[in-house]
Amino acid sequence: MTLPGTAGSSARRNDPAPVIAELKAMLGDRLSTSAAVREQHGRDESYHPVLPPDAVAFAHSTEEVAAIVRVCARYDMPVIPFGTGTSLEGGIAALNGGITIDLSNMNQVLRVGADDLDCTVQAGVTRKQLNEYIRDTGLFFPIDPGADASLGGMVATRASGTNAVRYGTMRDNVLGLKVVLADGRVIHTGGRARKSAAGYDLTRLFVGSEGTLGIVTEVTLRLYGIPEAVSAATCTFPTIKAAVDTVIQTIQCGVPVARIELLDEVQIDAVNRYSRTDYPVAPTLFFEFHGTERGVVEQAEMVEAIAGEQGGSGFGWATRPEDRSRLWQARHDAYYAAIALRPGAKGWPTDVCVPISRLADCIVATKEDIAAAGVLAPLVGHVGDGNFHLVYVLDPENPAELARADALNRRLVERALEMGGTCTGEHGVGYGKMEWLAVEHGEGWNVMADIKRALDPRNIMNPGKIVRT
């Protein structure tokens, strides 16, 4: 059986040998054709098959990235940017062969503007590296997708994560970019001003473009002051609907919660086994509150009262940094915990996002579908912004299992779109969700293809992702 999303990718177009020879002369040992290195750069964190490039170039600067792209452009050779490889929809797969540009060595924090609450970093800097670097300034960068992803990759996929309910997504926190275009030109978008009416918003054109329009090499980001007080809590519920209704009421009441995460009973059981925790096996919400000492207490009291009305119980508090870290690490390990429920299996992760008022309906109907299909699919969600995830735990070599998961996933996405939602809240499109992008955007998808053709007429920038040209 053909894996979802793999049909229709075009075949190799050109012999890579002359490109490899020219890049080898330019980069020396930093151009690798090793099978192991190529395989590493053709694999993401999902069930998608490994599709390695012909070679991997390890760039050290924007100028090198531009030079590599110019060589590839002359030969119509595909170019695929690579950060840490934690994507989930096949975004780094070399569908047509080509050259992967690894940006992990471009990992310098170039500037921190503490007074202006901003910074500029190279694309290979990871979120944890940035927060460690700026910790002594009293600032932090809040976008937390779970994995220690590169900031360039987070821009490319328009990442968000557990803090999005309060701090927004990458779309809201990127002030400017340096981007290498398909012909090797280098452009700057945006700037350090907090607002501008100067022309097209090119910054947000590239945020979420997954390397199909250009390669991000530098990022200017918003920073935030570290809160005076932080407290986390967990609460269990008799039903998943009660848990989600608590989230909806919390948001509608205007409580400025920093994080609200939902784990269903299947995912909680997986977390207990994997992380050796002892949470009650029931639908559970994880909360985090940021603010002043008094403000955090008030937020917590309001949420505890709302949860109590829905049958929530067993509020467990974590105020010490080490306890909060342990709680959130268990949450971040949810994907690997889910896969561990079935040794030898792979994970097919998926996500949707719906208006907050439809979240309970969407999740309850999805749980009913999972039960009817008899599929192992733990559920976890950044439910404060209407986003939730499933992991179909399956054997990708078993056509029947793939077919059941595919049918479930189709129903999930169809339901989200019917409710005014989106086919992907934060995983991105890659090639895994291309068909749904067409359904969601209609003629708008064709406009995306027009933009792609205008900026990348030879279709060398991560071809076969997001749109078809």
Which DSSP string corresponds to 103-154? Answer: -TT---EEEEETTTTEEEEETT-BHHHHHHHHGGGTEE-----SS--BHHHH
| pLDDT tens digits, 150-162 | 999 999 999 998 8
Mean pLDDT computed over 269-291: 94
Which CATH number belongs to the domain containing residue 184 in this structure?
Answer: 3.30.465.10
Structural domain of residue 139, as residue ranges?
Answer: 109-225
**Domain presence at residue 365:** yes
The angle, 0 to 180 degrees and rounded to 10, between the axes of the packed helices 443-455 and 434-441 is 120
Phi, psi of 111 (to 5 degrees): -165, 140
**Domain presence at residue 249:** yes
Q: Are residues 157 and 115 in the same domain?
A: yes
Q: Are residues 121 and 221 in the same domain?
A: yes
| pLDDT tens digits, 52-74 | 999 999 999 999 999 999 999 99
Q: Are residues 150 and 220 in the same domain?
A: yes
**Domain presence at residue 77:** no
**Domain presence at residue 234:** yes
Which CATH number belongs to the domain containing residue 304 in this structure?
Answer: 3.30.70.2190
Provide the number of structural domains found in the chain: 3
Mean pLDDT computed over 195-222: 96
**Domain presence at residue 28:** no
Per-residue model confidence (pLDDT) at position 146: 78
* pLDDT tier for residue 13 given thresholds of 50, 70 and 90: low
Phi, psi of 181 (to 5 degrees): -85, 175
Q: Which two tokens stand for residue 160?
A: 């968000």
Last residue of a domain, one of 307, 335, 363: 335
Per-residue model confidence (pLDDT) at position 7: 41
Report the relative pairing of strands 55-58 and 79-82 from DSSP bridges. unpaired
Q: Are residues 183 and 134 in the same domain?
A: yes
Last residue of a domain, one of 289, 306, 335: 335
Q: Which two tokens stand for residue 457?
A: 């007429």
Range scoring the smallest mean pLDDT among 101-105, 158-162, 211-215, 359-363: 158-162
Q: Are residues 348 and 324 in the same domain?
A: no
Residues 258, 167: contact at Cβ < 8 Å? yes
**Domain presence at residue 117:** yes
Q: Which residues contact 15 (CB under 8 A, 6 or more apart)?
A: none
Q: Which two tokens stand for residue 261?
A: 């995460």
**Domain presence at residue 295:** yes
**Domain presence at residue 239:** yes
Q: Are residues 240 and 318 in the same domain?
A: yes
Which CATH number belongs to the domain containing residue 352 in this structure?
Answer: 3.30.70.2740
Nearest CA to 160 out of 220, 202, 102, 208 is that of 208
Q: Are residues 292 and 357 in the same domain?
A: no
